[in-house]
C-alpha cells in the first residue's frame, strides 16, 4: 500500500471563522436548501481535464486516459519536459480568471473531478512525491468563495479503477470493487479529504465515485452488488471526521442504473447523482431518474450532460428544471467547442495528435512515429498558451443554452 502524503494528516492550514451546520447546504426531502433558507438549484459546469487529463479534450482518440497521455508525452519529448508541461498545465488550465468567468455566466456550482493519485506519492502529472492535490483544490475553492460559487468534489479516478474504461484511468476492469487494498486506500483518501475540508461551507458535497462499473463485463450484476457496501464503508469513514457535508451517490453503468441500490437510510445527508449524454431531451426520457428520486425522497442531480446541439441542451435544461434536477454540464474547457471555453489548437498540434494515434507498441514504432522533438516541445508550450483563459473562445451559444440566468 502506497503511503498517503504526510500533509494529509492535518486539516486546512489557515482555519477561517468558526462555522456551524447552518452554514452548509442541506437536504430537505427532494430539495437542497441554502444557508439563508432558500431553495438551492444546482446549475454549473465541470472542470474536467484539469486534474484528470482525458484524451479527447486534447484532440486525442486512442491515447485517451491520463496514464496513456503521460506515457505518450514521455515517448515523444522525454520525462523531464513532460513533467514541466504538467506543472504548467495545472498552473494555467484553470485560473482565477476562469472561475470569475464561470460565475459571470450565472452558474452557481462547479464540479471538480480529481484523480486519487493527487493525494498519494504515486507518479502522476509530473510529480512522484509530495503531490499537490490540496494546493490545487485550495486554489479553486478560494476562487469559488470569492466569486460566490459552490464546489462539488468528484473522485473521478479511484484506486484500482471503478469503471474499467479510460475515464477512470484504470487497466480495463473495475478492480476497486474487488480489491481490499484499493478500497482501504479509497476510504483513507476520502477520510483525509473530509478531515481537511470538514469546516469548508463552499463545498456543497462529496461525489464519492464517478460512473462505477461500465456495462462491458460478464459479471456486471455481481459488480453492481458490491457498490452499495462500498458506499456505506466510505460514508462511515467520512463521518468519523465530517458530519457537515452532503454525500452524493452515483449509480453503475454511467451513473444511469439505480436498481442495485436498496438502502438509503444509513446516513441523513445522502443524495443521488445521475449522468446522461444523448437521447431525447424530454421528461419521459428521464422518468427512471425521476421515479427513483421520488421513491427515495432524496434529491437527484445531473452531474454530467453535454456534447449536443444548443437547441437540444436548452430543451433538456428546461426539462431538468421542471423535474427539479439540478445540473453541471461537461466540460468547462476543451479543444475547439462543445464547452464553455474553447481552445484553438496551436501550430503543429496536429503532429502531436498524429503521434498519439500512431502505433507505438514497440520501440521501433515509437522511434518511427516520433515527430521532431523541438517541434513537438514548442507545440506543447503553445498549447499551454492556447489554454489560458484570455486565449480561449467563449462559446456564447452553448452557454446561453444552459439557462444559467
Separation between Cα atoms, residue 231 and residue 95, nearest integer Å? 32
CA separation for the pair 206, 79 (Å, rounded): 33
For residue 316, being part of any structural domain is answered with yes
Is the residue at 2 inside a domain? no
Domain that holds residue 79: 39-401
Number of domains in the chain: 1
Amino acid 16: pLDDT: 56
Judge whether 132 and 91 are in contact, CB under 8 Å.
no
Asked if residues 58 and 64 have their Cβ atoms less than 8 Å apart, the reply is no
Nearest-angstrom CA–CA distance, 83 and 344: 23
For residue 147, tell me if it sits in a domain. Answer: yes
Judge whether 356 and 383 are in contact, CB under 8 Å.
Answer: no
Query: What pLDDT sits at residue 11?
Result: 43
Cα separation, 405 vs 397, in Å, equals 14
CA dihedral angle for residue 64, residue 66, residue 68, residue 72, rounded to 10 degrees: 100
Note the pLDDT of residue 250. Answer: 98
According to the model, what pLDDT value does residue 314 have?
A: 98
Residue 385 falls inside a structural domain? yes
CATH number at residue 385: 3.20.20.80
Q: Are strands 203-207 and 300-304 parallel, antiparallel or unpaired?
A: unpaired
Residues 292, 257: Cα–Cα separation, whole Å: 10
CA distance 161 to 101: 33
Closest CA to 339 of 302, 382, 314, 305: 305
Give the three-class secondary structure for 191: helix
Does residue 18 lie in a domain region?
no
Distance CA 341, CA 335 (A): 9
> Which of 137, 230, 134 has its CA nearest to residue 182?
230
pLDDT at 18: 83
Please indicate, yes or no, if residue 140 is contained in any of the structural domains: yes
213 CB-contact burial (10 Å; exposed 0-12 / middle 13-18 / buried 19+): buried
Per-residue pLDDT tens digits of the chain, which is 405 residues long = 333 333 333 344 444 568 899 999 999 999 999 999 999 999 999 999 999 999 999 999 999 999 999 999 999 999 999 999 999 999 999 999 999 999 999 999 999 999 999 999 999 999 999 999 999 999 999 999 999 999 999 999 999 999 999 999 999 999 999 999 999 999 999 999 999 999 999 999 999 999 999 999 999 999 999 999 999 999 999 999 999 999 999 999 999 999 999 999 999 999 999 999 999 999 999 999 999 999 999 999 999 999 999 999 999 999 999 999 999 999 999 999 999 999 999 999 999 999 999 999 999 999 999 999 999 999 999 999 999 999 999 999 999 999 999
Indicate whether 294 belongs to any domain.
yes
Q: Say how many residues make up the chain.
A: 405
Question: What contacts 239, CB < 8 A, 6 or more positions away?
Answer: 267
The predicted model scores a pTM of 0.95
Q: Does a structural domain hold residue 115?
A: yes
Amino acid at each position: 500500500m502506497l503511503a498517503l502524503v504526510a500533509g494529509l494528516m492535518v486539516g486546512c492550514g489557515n482555519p477561517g471563522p468558526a462555522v456551524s451546520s447552518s452554514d452548509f447546504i442541506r437536504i430537505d426531502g427532494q430539495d437542497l436548501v441554502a444557508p439563508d433558507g432558500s431553495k438551492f438549484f444546482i446549475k454549473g459546469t465541470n472542470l474536467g481535464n484539469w486534474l484528470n487529463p482525458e484524451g479527447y479534450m486534447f484532440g486525442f482518440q486512442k491515447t485517451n486516459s491520463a496514464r496513456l497521455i503521460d506515457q505518450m508525452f514521455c515517448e515523444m519529448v522525454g520525462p523531464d519536459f513532460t513533467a514541466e508541461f504538467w506543472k504548467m498545465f495545472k498552473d494555467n488550465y484553470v485560473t482565477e480568471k476562469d472561475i470569475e468567468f464561470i460565475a459571470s455566466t450565472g452558474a452557481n456550482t462547479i464540479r471538480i473531478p480529481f484523480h486519487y493519485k493527487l493525494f498519494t506519492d504515486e507518479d502522476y502529472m509530473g510529480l512522484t512525491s509530495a503531490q499537490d492535490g490540496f494546493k490545487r483544490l485550495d486554489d479553486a475553492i478560494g476562487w469559488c468563495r470569492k466569486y460566490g460559487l459552490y464546489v462539488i468534489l468528484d473522485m473521478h479516478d479511484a484506486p484500482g479503477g471503478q469503471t474499467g474504461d479510460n475515464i477512470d484511468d484504470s487497466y480495463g476492469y473495475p478492480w476497486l470493487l474487488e480489491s481490499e487494498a484499493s478500497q482501504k486506500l479509497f476510504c483513507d483518501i476520502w477520510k483525509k479529504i473530509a478531515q481537511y475540508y470538514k469546516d469548508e461551507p463552499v463545498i456543497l458535497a462529496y461525489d464519492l465515485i464517478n460512473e462505477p462499473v461500465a456495462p462491458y463485463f460478464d459479471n456486471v450484476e455481481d459488480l453492481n452488488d458490491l457498490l452499495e457496501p462500498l458506499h456505506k464503508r466510505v460514508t462511515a469513514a467520512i463521518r468519523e471526521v465530517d458530519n457537515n457535508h452532503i454525500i452524493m451517490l452515483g449509480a453503475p453503468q454511467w451513473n444511469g442504473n439505480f436498481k442495485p441500490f436498496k438502502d438509503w437510510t444509513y446516513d441523513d445527508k445522502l443524495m443521488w447523482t445521475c449522468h446522461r449524454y444523448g437521447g431525447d431531451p424530454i421528461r419521459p426520457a428521464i422518468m427512471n431518474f425521476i421515479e427513483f428520486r421520488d421513491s427515495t425522497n432524496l434529491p437527484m442531480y445531473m452531474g454530467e450532460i453535454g456534447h449536443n446541439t444548443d437547441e437540444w441542451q436548452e430543451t433538456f435544461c428546461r426539462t431538468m428544471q421542471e423535474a427539479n434536477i439540478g445540473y453541471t454540464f461537461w466540460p468547462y474547457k476543451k479543444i475547439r467547442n462543445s464547452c464553455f471555453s474553447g481552445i484553438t489548437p496551436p501550430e503543429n498540434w496536429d503532429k502531436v495528435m498524429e503521434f498519439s494515434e500512431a502505433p507505438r507498441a514497440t520501440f521501433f514504432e515509437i522511434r518511427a512515429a516520433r515527430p521532431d522533438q523541438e517541434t513537438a516541445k514548442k507545440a506543447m508550450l503553445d498549447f499551454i498558451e492556447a489554454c489560458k483563459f484570455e486565449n480561449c473562445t467563449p462559446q456564447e451559444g452553448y452557454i446561453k443554452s444552459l439557462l444559467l440566468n
